[in-house]
Amino acid sequence: MIKAGIIGSTGYAGQELVRLLLGHPEAEIVWYGSRSYIGKKYDQVFGNLFEIVDAACMDDNMEELAQRADVIFTATPQGLCASLVNEDILSKVKIIDLSADFRIKDVSVYEKWYGIEHKAPSFIEEAVYGLCEINREKIRNCRLVANPGCYTTCSILTLYPLVKEGVIDPDSIIIDAKSGTSGAGRGAKVNNLYCEVNENIKAYGVATHRHTPEIEEQLGYACGREIVLNFTPHLVPMNRGILVTAYGNLTGDYTDAQIRAIYQKYYGKERFVRVLEEGIAPETRWVEGSNYTDVNFRIDPRTKRVIAMGALDNLVKGAAGQAVQNMNLVFGLPEETGLKQPPMFP
Amino acid sequence: MIKAGIIGSTGYAGQELVRLLLGHPEAEIVWYGSRSYIGKKYDQVFGNLFEIVDAACMDDNMEELAQRADVIFTATPQGLCASLVNEDILSKVKIIDLSADFRIKDVSVYEKWYGIEHKAPSFIEEAVYGLCEINREKIRNCRLVANPGCYTTCSILTLYPLVKEGVIDPDSIIIDAKSGTSGAGRGAKVNNLYCEVNENIKAYGVATHRHTPEIEEQLGYACGREIVLNFTPHLVPMNRGILVTAYGNLTGDYTDAQIRAIYQKYYGKERFVRVLEEGIAPETRWVEGSNYTDVNFRIDPRTKRVIAMGALDNLVKGAAGQAVQNMNLVFGLPEETGLKQPPMFP
Amino acid sequence: MIKAGIIGSTGYAGQELVRLLLGHPEAEIVWYGSRSYIGKKYDQVFGNLFEIVDAACMDDNMEELAQRADVIFTATPQGLCASLVNEDILSKVKIIDLSADFRIKDVSVYEKWYGIEHKAPSFIEEAVYGLCEINREKIRNCRLVANPGCYTTCSILTLYPLVKEGVIDPDSIIIDAKSGTSGAGRGAKVNNLYCEVNENIKAYGVATHRHTPEIEEQLGYACGREIVLNFTPHLVPMNRGILVTAYGNLTGDYTDAQIRAIYQKYYGKERFVRVLEEGIAPETRWVEGSNYTDVNFRIDPRTKRVIAMGALDNLVKGAAGQAVQNMNLVFGLPEETGLKQPPMFP
Amino acid sequence: MIKAGIIGSTGYAGQELVRLLLGHPEAEIVWYGSRSYIGKKYDQVFGNLFEIVDAACMDDNMEELAQRADVIFTATPQGLCASLVNEDILSKVKIIDLSADFRIKDVSVYEKWYGIEHKAPSFIEEAVYGLCEINREKIRNCRLVANPGCYTTCSILTLYPLVKEGVIDPDSIIIDAKSGTSGAGRGAKVNNLYCEVNENIKAYGVATHRHTPEIEEQLGYACGREIVLNFTPHLVPMNRGILVTAYGNLTGDYTDAQIRAIYQKYYGKERFVRVLEEGIAPETRWVEGSNYTDVNFRIDPRTKRVIAMGALDNLVKGAAGQAVQNMNLVFGLPEETGLKQPPMFP
pLDDT tens-place string over residues A222-266:
999 999 999 999 999 999 999 999 999 999 999 999 999 999 999
Q: So what's the pLDDT on residue D8?
A: 97
Query: Taking each helix axis from N to C terminus, what angle separates B12-22 and B321-330, rounded to the nearest 10 degrees?
Result: 50
Beta-carbon contacts of residue D61 (< 8 Å; ≥ 6 apart): none
Cα-trace Rg, chain D: 20
Distance CA D316, CA D318 (A): 5
Cβ burial of A54 (10 Å; 0-12, 13-18, 19+) is exposed
Which residue of D16, D179, D195 to mutate against B (max B Cβ within 10 Å)?
D195
Beta-carbon contacts of residue C212 (< 8 Å; ≥ 6 apart): C113, C229, C231
D57 dihedral zone (left: phi>0; alpha: psi -120 to 50; beta) = beta
DSSP letters spanning B135-168:
HHHHHTT-SEEEPPPHHHHHHHHHHHHHHHTT-B
Angle in degrees, CA B24, B28, B31, rounded to 5: 135
Contact A284 D199 (CB under 8 A): yes
Which residue of A19, A22, A49, A50 to mutate against B (max B Cβ within 10 Å)?
A50
pLDDT above 90 covers what percent of chain B? 99
* Total count of residues recorded for chain C: 346
User: Measured over all CA atoms, what is the biggest interatomic distance in chain B, rounded to whole angstroms?
Assistant: 62
Report CA-CA distances (Å) from A248 to A168, A282, A303, A305, D172: 6, 18, 10, 5, 11
| 8 Å CB contact between D309 and D246 | yes
Contact B194 D193 (CB under 8 A): yes
Q: So what's the pLDDT on residue B21?
A: 98
Picking from A119, A167, A134, A83, the residue whose alpha carbon sits closest to that of residue A270 is A134
Spell out which residues of chain C touch residue D343, defining contact as CB-CB under 8 Å: 48-49
Distance CA C172, CA A115 (A): 62
| 8 Å CB contact between B296 and B286 | no
Picking from C300, C295, C299, the residue whose alpha carbon sits closest to that of residue C282 is C295
Neighbours of D80 (CB within 10 A): 19
Neighbours of C299 (CB within 10 A): 20
Distance CA A13, CA A76 (A): 9
Residues of chain D predicted below pLDDT 70: none
Residue in A184, A188, A199 closest to C188 by CB: A188
Please write down the HEC assignment for all residues of chain C: CEEEEEECCCCHHHHHHHHHHHCCCCEEEEEEECHHHCCCEHHHHCHHHCCCCCCECECCCHHHHHHHCCEEEECCCCCHHHHHCCHHHHHHCEEEECCCCCCCCCHHHHHHHHCCCCCCHHHCCCCEECCHHHHHHHHCCCCEEECCCHHHHHHHHHHHHHHHCCCECHHHCEEEEEECHHHHCCCCCHHHEHHHHCCCCEECCCCCCCHHHHHHHHHHHHHCCCCCCEEEEEECCCCCCEEEEEEEEECCCCCHHHHHHHHHHHHCCCCCEEECCCCCCCEHHHCCCCCCEEEEEEEECCCCEEEEEEEECCCHHHHHHHHHHHHHHHCCCCCCCCCCCCCCCC
Residue in A46, A49, A342 closest to B52 by CB: A342
Q: Does C346 touch chain A (CB under 8 A)?
A: no
Amino acid identity for residue A6 in this structure:
I
Tell me which H or E stretch contains D79: none
Active site amino acids of A: 150
Task: Write the ipTM.
Answer: 0.97
How far from the centroid of its chain's Cα atoms is residue A203's Cα?
20
Tell me which H or E stretch contains A6: strand A2-7
Distance CA A185, CA A239 (A): 11
Contact B284 C200 (CB under 8 A): yes
Report CA-CA distances (Å) from A258 to A156, A261, A264, A297, D205: 20, 5, 10, 12, 22
Q: Is the peptide bond before D346 cis (omega within 30 degrees of 0)?
A: yes
How close is the nearest chain C Cα to the Cα of B297, in Å? 9
Q: Tens digits of per-residue pLDDT, B206-237?
A: 999 999 999 999 999 999 999 999 999 999 99
Q: Tens digits of per-residue pLDDT, D34-47?
A: 999 999 999 999 99
3-state secondary structure of D342: coil
Q: Is the peptide bond before C282 cis (omega within 30 degrees of 0)?
A: no
Spell out which residues of chain D touch residue C240, defining contact as CB-CB under 8 Å: 346
For the question of residue D150 being annotated catalytic, the response is: yes
3-state secondary structure of D90: helix
CA atoms within 13 A on the CB side of C196: 22
| 8 Å CB contact between A71 and A5 | yes
Distance CA A273, CA A267 (A): 6
Distance CA A174, CA A58 (A): 43
Contact A280 B47 (CB under 8 A): yes
Q: Does D40 touch chain C (CB under 8 A)?
A: no
Amino acid identity for residue A163 in this structure:
V
CATH second-level architecture of C2-126? 3-Layer(aba) Sandwich (3.40)
Q: So what's the pLDDT on residue C141?
A: 84
* Total count of residues recorded for chain B: 346
User: Measured over all CA atoms, what is the biggest interatomic distance in chain D, rounded to whole angstroms?
Assistant: 62
Report CA-CA distances (Å) from A175 to A21, A308, B255, D241, D264: 32, 9, 60, 22, 28
Closest residue of C to B283, CA-based? C202
Q: Does D326 touch chain B (CB under 8 A)?
A: no
**H helix runs in A170-226, sequence order:** 194-197, 211-223
Neighbours of C221 (CB within 10 A): 18
Q: Tens digits of per-residue pLDDT, B291-336?
A: 999 999 999 999 999 999 999 999 999 999 999 999 999 999 999 9
Distance CA B302, CA B280 (A): 20
Give the confidence band of A141 by pLDDT, cuts at 50, 70, 90.
confident
Spell out which residues of chain C touch residue D276, defining contact as CB-CB under 8 Å: 47, 50
Spell out which residues of chain B touch residue A280, defining contact as CB-CB under 8 Å: 47
Sign of the torsion formed by the C-alpha atoms of A204, A209, A210 and A216:
positive
Report CA-CA distances (Å) from B29 to B24, B26, B313, B322, D102: 10, 11, 23, 17, 53
Give the confidence band of A82 by pLDDT, cuts at 50, 70, 90.
very high
Distance CA C247, CA A86 (A): 65
D224 dihedral zone (left: phi>0; alpha: psi -120 to 50; beta) = left
Cβ burial of A198 (10 Å; 0-12, 13-18, 19+) is buried
Spell out which residues of chain B touch residue C201, defining contact as CB-CB under 8 Å: 178, 236, 238, 241, 243, 283-284
Spell out which residues of chain A touch residue C239, defining contact as CB-CB under 8 Å: 194-195, 198-199
Q: So what's the pLDDT on residue D138?
A: 98
Beta-carbon contacts of residue D158 (< 8 Å; ≥ 6 apart): D244, D246, D293, D295, D308, D309, D310
Beta-carbon contacts of residue C14 (< 8 Å; ≥ 6 apart): C6, C8, C34, C73, C75, C320
Q: Is C126 a residue whose pLDDT tops 90?
A: yes
Cβ burial of B26 (10 Å; 0-12, 13-18, 19+) is middle
Our separate counts of H helices and E strands in chain A read 12, 13
Residue in B12, B188, B239 closest to D198 by CB: B239
Q: Which of D81, D132, D142, D150 is catalytic?
A: D150
Closest residue of A to D282, CA-based? A202
Closest residue of B to D190, CA-based? B188
Please write down the HEC assignment for all residues of C133-202: HHHHHHHCCCCEEECCCHHHHHHHHHHHHHHHCCCECHHHCEEEEEECHHHHCCCCCHHHEHHHHCCCCE
Closest residue of B to C208, CA-based? B300
Instruction: List the domain boundaries for chain D.
Output: 2-126, 151-314
| 8 Å CB contact between D95 and D124 | no
Give chain C's mean pLDDT: 97
Tell me if the domain spanning B151-314 has CATH number 3.30.360.10.
yes
Give the confidence band of B141 by pLDDT, cuts at 50, 70, 90.
confident
